[in-house]
Amino acid sequence: METVEMNSVSLKRPRSEDDVANADEIKRQKILEKSKTGNDSGQSTETVTEPPEDMKNEIIPNEESEEQEEEELEDSDEDGDPESFADMMKHGLTESDVGITKFVSSHKGFSGILKERYSDFVVHEIGKDGRVSHLDDFSVPVDDEVNFEDPSEETLTVLSDEDKQRLEELQLFKNKETSVAIEVIEDTKEKRTVIHQAVKSLFPGLETKTEDRDGKKYIIAYHAAGKKALAKVRTATDPRKHSWPKSRGSYCHFVLYKENKDTMDAINVLSKFLRVKPNIFSYMGTKDKRAITVQEIAVLRITAQRLAHLNKCLMNFKLGNFSYKNHPLKLGELQGNHFTVVLRNITGTDDQIEQAMHSLREIGFINYYGMQRFGTTAVPTYQIGRAILQNNWNEVMDLILKPRPGAEKGYLVKCREEWAKTKDPAAALKKLPVKRCVEGQLLRGLLKYGMKNIISAFGIIPRNNRLMYIHSYQSYVWNNMVSKRIEEYGLRAVPGDLILKGATAVHIEEGDVDNYTIHDVVMPLPGFDVIYPKHKIGEAYKEMLVADNLDINNMRHKIRDYSLSGAYRKIIIRPQNVSWEVVAYDDPKIPLFTTDLDKLEGKPLPVLPTDGKFRALKMEFSLPPSTYATMAIREVLKMDTSIKNQTQLNTTWLR
């Protein structure tokens, strides 16, 4: 096997008919695409290869990065006069900036377009039992016991068609009405109860009350949001006031199919419609936004029928495959994710493609942390993590708040300028219409605790966001060290390398080296509870941390949250279930395969020409948790996957 230095491949893409109309959305998506976590797909952890507890926050495909400040701002309008997208991204990172420099295969690279459509990237979760999640059944399981929440036949028929139409328009905000009044013709308590049940069951998100008007009884339906006095928000310990059959498991498990929406957004929408808090939902991994993803979700004491009714009003996601179980889901309990990826407008010859895919199947790819791990702005997340580990809190504050070039919301630019000019957190906060971003949270902390207590001010930022920074630094070190390891020793196991025996790392001795391959070798993320290779790379770790004013033998921090125990990660990953085919097409907008929802709705397979203008590579593969699908695709194309590089290569198309 041979290692190859990275070279950028020119990426050109056809200008489809709707490119111009969608240019702004494309630019925004490109800025926001990151993977909050690995796999480009699951927020998950392997007990022996990833750090415990605090290393569970990775996500998927492009790249929902772990930087949540971008996610939380993405729906806000841009103000100010932004630079062109290409100009903004020239300040971003390239792969070599974060240690991604090597390839393992020897084929010649070729170009292709990743995620021209979000539907070109499909992720199916693989459960701990090895079962791949699919949405293929909308039916609701039947209980032996009748439950208050399950609508009876009378409940389904008590509302007139006109009432249902008005309620649906109210539910979907299709008119300016704030409520709908339904007259109770036969006024009895039983009749009013049935109408209340019918509205709440058939139109989730609506609340009801009874009113007297001119001597007549009316059921008034209205949106629960904003009516706190009338619509109690249920908690995890008190999810519903109604009885729950003893024979039924407490958790309703279901498959969530979503398009172009991240997992937490989807759960927040479900919570709003169901009038419950998001924390009664559980899942095994968080999936990326710019993709079609299929995963299992569990919710405490919400019936399948109630969930199924939501399919009538949900946009861009569907629920199905319902079942009742006695347990929730836990983060990291998945085996991995199965990917279906389309690379459009490929330029490689058939031989190049065969060589590339055969190498991916037989050898694999370097298990680098992908670009989404390091953020998309001019201040990489690993720099902030390094300052935290150095206990340099003034530097942490400065890196988060100082003016920076590149892709920024207009109000963030104004906030940073105000901060640079006045160092007044109150004045800078006034420039921020959205206070949930990291900048806003830190400024609120400074306002509360003062400039002399930056540690406490920084502590206002949610724990996962704070840990994201130091995990980014660990990933930065790991990427650089793996590139050095492969450059120094190639793709073979050598004495002094580390392998795992159970959960324990041991060194390969001279006499045992023939018993192991490169696929057995792991390398550590720096921390106080790991050992390092016994060859040159062990010294390289120490030298890199010394250059960053850190002591590799003292990775405990005076603040416990920021003490790094470390972990081990395989340096080469060989995907499972690898398959591929090259298809021809003419229309860049046509889907090149059918999704779970297409199959449920009976949509036919797309009809593709035998000799189209363009060629696409459709490939499928499965990856374990906390690995990045973009790094597998990088190995196939032999190109830099950073937004900065792809933007420079696509400047004409993007404008």
The mean pLDDT of 594-609, rounded to a whole number, is 90
Query: In terms of pLDDT, which residue wins out, 146 or 259?
Result: 259
pLDDT at 584: 93
Counting residues of the chain whose pLDDT is more than 90, the rounded percentage is 51
The mean pLDDT of 607-617, rounded to a whole number, is 89
pLDDT at 484: 97
Query: In terms of pLDDT, which residue wins out, 371 or 153?
Result: 371
The closest alpha carbon to 114, from 63, 185, 151, belongs to: 63
**Taking 70 as the threshold, does the pLDDT of residue 266 lie above it?**
yes
pLDDT at 644: 62
pLDDT at 48: 32
Distant-in-sequence, close-in-space partners of 372: CB < 8 Å, separation ≥ 6: 33, 34, 35, 36, 40, 59, 62, 63, 64, 65, 66, 628, 630
Cα gap 455→460, rounded to integer Å:
9
Query: In terms of pLDDT, which residue wins out, 642 or 1?
Result: 642
Query: In terms of pLDDT, which residue wins out, 409 or 135?
Result: 135
Domain residue ranges in the chain: 95-121+338-367+573-654, 128-143+248-334, 153-223, 378-465, 466-570
53, amino acid identity: E
Distance of CA 338 to the CA centre of its chain: 15
pLDDT at 39: 55
The mean pLDDT of 434-448, rounded to a whole number, is 89
pLDDT tens digits, one per residue of 464-490: 889 999 999 999 999 999 999 999 999
Residue 5 banded pLDDT, cuts 50, 70, 90 = very low
**Taking 90 as the threshold, does the pLDDT of residue 383 lie above it?**
yes
Contact 537, 561 (CB under 8 A): no
Residue 432 banded pLDDT, cuts 50, 70, 90 = confident
Query: In terms of pLDDT, which residue wins out, 645 or 525?
Result: 525
Contact 432, 412 (CB under 8 A): yes
The pLDDT mean for the chain works out to 80
Q: Domain 466-570: give its CATH architecture.
A: 2-Layer Sandwich (3.30)
**Taking 70 as the threshold, does the pLDDT of residue 239 lie above it?**
no
Lowest mean pLDDT among 300-309, 405-414, 604-613: 405-414
Active site amino acids: 288
Query: In terms of pLDDT, which residue wins out, 101 or 228?
Result: 101
**Taking 70 as the threshold, does the pLDDT of residue 68 lie above it?**
no
pLDDT at 643: 67
pLDDT at 35: 35
Residue 443 banded pLDDT, cuts 50, 70, 90 = very high
The closest alpha carbon to 55, from 626, 522, 624, belongs to: 626
pLDDT at 36: 37
> What is the model's pTM?
0.74
**Taking 50 as the threshold, does the pLDDT of residue 422 lie above it?**
yes
What is 128-143+248-334's CATH number?
3.30.70.3160
pLDDT tens digits, one per residue of 121-152: 999 999 999 999 999 999 998 765 444 455 56
Which backbone phi and psi does 569 adopt, to 5 degrees?
A: -140, 135
User: Strand runs (DSSP E) across 377-518, as ranges?
Assistant: 498-501, 504-507
**Taking 80 as the threshold, does the pLDDT of residue 2 lie above it?**
no
Counting residues of the chain whose pLDDT is more than 70, the rounded percentage is 78
pLDDT at 646: 55
pLDDT tens digits, one per residue of 513-555: 999 999 999 999 999 999 999 999 999 999 999 999 999 998 9
Cα 563 to Cα 43, 391, 581, distances in angstroms = 21, 11, 47
Residue 647 banded pLDDT, cuts 50, 70, 90 = low
**Taking 70 as the threshold, does the pLDDT of residue 13 lie above it?**
no
Sheet holding 567-570, edge to edge: 504-507, 498-501, 521-525, 567-570
Residue 387 banded pLDDT, cuts 50, 70, 90 = very high
Residue 345 banded pLDDT, cuts 50, 70, 90 = very high
3.30.70, 3.30.1370, 3.40.1130, 3.30.1540: CATH of 153-223: 3.30.1370
N-terminal to C-terminal alpha carbon distance within the chain: 41
pLDDT at 91: 61
Sign of the four-CA dihedral 131, 137, 142, 146: positive
What is 378-465's CATH number?
1.10.1510
pLDDT at 185: 81
pLDDT at 481: 98
Lowest mean pLDDT among 150-154, 304-308, 428-432: 150-154
pLDDT at 237: 44
Query: Of 96-100, 111-115, 116-120, 209-213, which has the strongest mean pLDDT?
Result: 96-100
The mean pLDDT of 347-374, rounded to a whole number, is 94
